[in-house]
Amino acid sequence: MPANHTPNPTSPEPHPPAAAQDAALLLAGFLLLLAWDRSGLDLVAVRAWGTAAGFAWRDHWLTSNVLHGGSRVVGWLVVAALAVGIWQPYGVLRRLTHRERIWWVGTTLLCSVLILALKRISATSCPWSLAEFGGTAHYVSHWARGVLDGGPGHCFPSGAASTAFAFLPGWFALRNRAPRAAAWWLAGVVIAGTMVGVVQMVRGAHYPSHTLWTAWLCWALSAISYHAVVRRAVAAPAAAPVSPPA
């Protein structure tokens, strides 16, 4: 049998969580992020690493080249490995249908595109652009519409963090077919995303909220897409009418 027509997993048909459960998690995360934005902790966090002379770790070889630049390389390597797995499934990917594997890779790429598109239209500048750190901008909440901070903008949400959080669709793809693998995947994505977010904060490239919003947006897109595409496809056979015997 050709590799791109692998049979459906032999495990019983999954029972996807109700959309209401995922919606409740999204709402809770949204409210927590709003609370963080109003707390003023973004500035507190970056002030711990920046001075009037700027951010000492901004161009350091470890943070700039290895951790920041290296994370992008690793991210694309993982995308390539998952793309190969669409037609030549290996490991836990064998437990997924061909449709589910395509959805996983496609939604990962959509998450990256979403974050980059939002950055392009954002008027929010990076912390290193603030006047108190040697730049020209002044702090303005990224939700203050029509109020410009005087800097170059294009810094919200965090594109760097999306190199990790764009892989959140893997949790949704695996959680019914392979719960343990899904848990490990989710833990790895969260740890990697947190690490990248901390590196970018230390460099003065992003506020913590930029990383948190990237995670929430990727989670939201994954959840919405999952319930609109994958879950509906799983539920469709059970809902189909049974033809009477001839």
Q: In the predicted model, what is the mean pLDDT of residues 110-130?
A: 96
Q: Cα-flanking dihedrals φ and ψ of residue 19, to 5°?
A: -60, -30
> Per-residue pLDDT for 19 more than 90?
no
Q: In the predicted model, what is the mean pLDDT of residues 187-205?
A: 98
The SS3 assignment for 116 reads: helix
Say which DSSP state 125 is in.
P
> Per-residue pLDDT for 55 more than 60?
yes
pTM over 0.85, yes/no = yes
- Tokens encoding 200: 């970018």
CA-to-CA distance for 104 and 115, rounded, in angstroms? 17
Which of the pair, 26 or 147, is modelled with greater confidence? 26
Average pLDDT across the chain, whole number? 89
Q: In the predicted model, what is the mean pLDDT of residues 175-191?
A: 96
> What whole-number percentage of the chain has pLDDT above 70?
87
Q: Which of 182, 138, 165 is closest to 219 using CA atoms?
A: 165
pLDDT single digits (tens) 150-173: 999 999 999 999 999 999 999 999
> Per-residue pLDDT for 9 more than 50?
no
> Per-residue pLDDT for 46 more than 60?
yes
User: Is residue 53 very low, low, confident or very high in pLDDT (cuts 50, 70, 90)?
Assistant: very high
> Per-residue pLDDT for 61 more than 90?
yes
> Per-residue pLDDT for 10 more than 90?
no
> Does residue 99 contact residue 230 with C-beta atoms inside 8 Å?
yes
- Mean pLDDT lowest for which of 65-79, 95-109, 133-147? 133-147
The SS3 assignment for 54 reads: strand
User: Is residue 145 very low, low, confident or very high in pLDDT (cuts 50, 70, 90)?
Assistant: confident
> Per-residue pLDDT for 7 more than 90?
no
> Per-residue pLDDT for 244 more than 60?
no
How long a stretch of residues is the chain?
A: 246
pLDDT at 66: 96
Say which DSSP state 241 is in.
P
Domain boundaries, the chain: 19-234
User: Is residue 140 very low, low, confident or very high in pLDDT (cuts 50, 70, 90)?
Assistant: confident
Q: In the predicted model, what is the mean pLDDT of residues 121-138?
A: 95
Say which DSSP state 195 is in.
H
pLDDT at 18: 76
Which of the pair, 6 or 132, is modelled with greater confidence? 132
